[in-house]
Structure 1
Amino acid sequence: MRRRGYPISTKLQALGMLETMSDYKVSVALDVPRRTLRNWMSHKHEILAYEGNLKNIKLEPGGRYEVFPEPPGLIEFINHVRDNKRALTTTHLILWIKASQRKWLNNYLATKKQSTSYDSLFRLRFCHRHGFSHQRPAKNKVKQADLAEAQSDFAAEFHREYIAYGKECVYNVDETGIYYGMPPRYIWAVRGGSSKFSSGEKHSLRMTAVLTVRADGNKLPILFIMKGVPPGHHYAVQQRAWMDTRVWATYLRDVLDEASEEPSVVLLDNFESHVSGESYNIMYEDPTCVRCHRRRRRCVNPLTLG
């Protein structure tokens, strides 16, 4: 007979009920054996301190035990290299292991065939298990430290200038393109002829979502910009499925104006349609007067702003 498992959420619920109810009543209410409840009570502090997915059954993940003797050290090395925007390959990891864990490495390789010993080491999938992935390298224009400093300075400036506005009056707006059908990388064309194709085909399978969240955590309905609509959100049609002055005016009148009931602040970037004269006219013709605060273009996405 297979042993029954209970998610962490059920364990937390049971511990809360045991504060005011007997284990017998809790057992009947949750259909959990009293012996299991007593076991949960003996591990009460560990369960209450759990911060992971409440759907999990175990406090600690299962699976095979870690073979490598010092995971935190290698993880710290990986993060240090990447924080400095340096290229990191498997060869760099092996060199670190040779320098820091040579005894373990020699013992591990001694248990493998000499011709395939390093192949076994490569298949340990250490990086995959600890949240790292194999990616194509890309050039970085600005250092991460500079971006973090710019974000911190901007956050301080913004909160200082608009401290009088409550959280229910500060809106954060940004657009994100959704590509669900990219153009092919290679096409057939007449030798010596042009390989260009129409801009309409280039953007035929793209739509844009305009996301707005208030500082108090409430989210406005999403404005979807597409070529083309199910109820519940707002939609706009644009030739290239992108934001322009006309669509931005639609957003201000149909989405933002419906949500703002008093003078408010809108946090957005300096995209052309956002800072146009028409945009300012629409904002200031409303008695509730929604003020715009332009952010630096090189800052990180404002939806992540602390």
Structure 2
Amino acid sequence: MKTRIESFKQTKAQLMELFKDELWRICNADESFYGCGIAHGLTYAIKGSEGVDVHMNHNEKKGITIIATIQADGSKLPLTFVCKGLTDACHKQIYDNRVFSNELILHSETGWATKEVFQEYLRWLRKYYNDRYRENPSYIQNDRIYLFLDTYSSHRNAETKKLANLLTCMSLAP
């Protein structure tokens, strides 16, 4: 009997072969916490050392969650930022006209990628593909997207799976 990892590798290889001329259909998304530190910290290092200690006066938990998505052809999709707060007003924590253009900015009470946040991300991903590939004859004929994900709980609940509809979400083995 194949392990989950062997099965995943086989499925991935089959998709890469099947869509070798359409690698934009296959993408991987992952979320990660990014700490927002103050830029005026002190650094200490012995001259010539390989490491540097950075000492900052800030809350290590202050930061945002970022969802990054990359296509199998190497193209990077706009980032998704998840702010901590209850309303769109919390987006001001990170918004800057010089930096952000087409990125998606969402929020949750905890600042984590909850199932509601992840479902909104999936809606955005579908819209992104529809807008970008709407004139592509292959996409018009078959608009399926293959999204590789880890096993985080917001990816696996029934509501998210139902919403994914034409997105084929592949869970990576832990």
TM-score bracket relative to the smaller structure: 0.5 to 0.7
Counterpart residue number, 1:252: 122
Counterpart residue number, 1:290: 167
Query: What is the percent sequence identity of the aligned residues?
Result: 22
Aligned counterpart for 1:219 among listed residues 76, 86, 89: 76
Aligned counterpart for 1:176 among listed residues 7, 32, 42: 32
Structure 1 residue 281 and structure 2 residue 151: aligned?
A: no
Counterpart residue number, 2:12: 158
Please give the alpha-carbon distance, in whole angstroms, between the structure 2 residues aligned to 1:273 and 1:153: 22
Counterpart residue number, 1:209: 66
Please give the alpha-carbon distance, in whole angstroms, between the structure 2 residues aligned to 1:295 and 1:252: 17
Q: CA deviation at 1:155?
A: 3.3
Q: What SS does the aligned partner of 1:176 have?
A: strand
Q: CA deviation at 1:156?
A: 3.9
**Partner deviation per Cα, 1:66-89 (whole Å, 9 max, x = no partner):** xxxxxxxxxxxxxxxxxxxxxxxx
Q: What SS does the aligned partner of 1:212 have?
A: strand
Please give the alpha-carbon distance, in whole angstroms, between the structure 1 residues aligned to 2:11 and 2:123: 28
Counterpart residue number, 1:186: none
Q: CA deviation at 1:176?
A: 1.0
Q: Which amino acid aligns with 1:236?
A: L
Q: TM-score, normalised by structure 1?
A: 0.37
Counterpart residue number, 2:46: none
Structure 1 residue 267 and structure 2 residue 148: aligned?
A: yes
The structure showing larger relative contact order (alpha-carbon pairs under 8 Å, at least 6 residues apart) is: 2
Please give the alpha-carbon distance, in whole angstroms, between the structure 2 residues aligned to 1:258 and 1:158: 24
**Partner deviation per Cα, 1:220-264 (whole Å, 9 max, x = no partner):** 11001112223411111122211101100110112x112224111
Q: Which amino acid aligns with 1:214?
A: Q
Counterpart residue number, 1:235: 105
Q: Do the aligned residues in 1 keep the contact of 2:35 with 2:60 (CA within 8 Å)?
A: no
Structure with a larger share of its residues in strand: 2
Q: Which amino acid aligns with 1:226?
A: C
Where does structure 1 lack aligned partners over 5 or more consecutive residues? 1-149, 182-200, 298-306
Q: What SS does the aligned partner of 1:273 have?
A: helix
Please give the alpha-carbon distance, in whole angstroms, between the structure 2 residues aligned to 1:294 and 1:219: 20
Q: CA RMSD in A?
A: 2.6
Q: Which amino acid aligns with 1:167?
A: L
Please give the alpha-carbon distance, in whole angstroms, between the structure 2 residues aligned to 1:154 and 1:253: 25
Higher Cα radius of gyration: 1
Q: Which amino acid aligns with 1:221?
A: P
Where does structure 2 lack aligned partners over 5 or more consecutive residues? 38-58, 85-89, 131-142
Q: Are the structure 2 counterparts of residues 236 and 279 from structure 1 closer, same or farther at C-alpha, using a change threshold of 3 Å?
A: same
Q: CA deviation at 1:162?
A: 6.0
Please give the alpha-carbon distance, in whole angstroms, between the structure 2 residues aligned to 1:216 and 1:252: 20
Q: Are the structure 2 counterparts of residues 216 and 161 from structure 1 closer, same or farther at C-alpha, using a change threshold of 3 Å?
A: closer
Please give the alpha-carbon distance, in whole angstroms, between the structure 1 residues aligned to 2:6 and 2:68: 22
Q: Are the structure 2 counterparts of residues 296 and 223 from structure 1 closer, same or farther at C-alpha, using a change threshold of 3 Å?
A: same
Q: Which amino acid aligns with 2:69?
A: T
**Partner deviation per Cα, 1:33-58 (whole Å, 9 max, x = no partner):** xxxxxxxxxxxxxxxxxxxxxxxxxx
Q: Are the structure 2 counterparts of residues 246 and 202 from structure 1 closer, same or farther at C-alpha, using a change threshold of 3 Å?
A: farther
Please give the alpha-carbon distance, in whole angstroms, between the structure 1 residues aligned to 2:29 and 2:12: 15
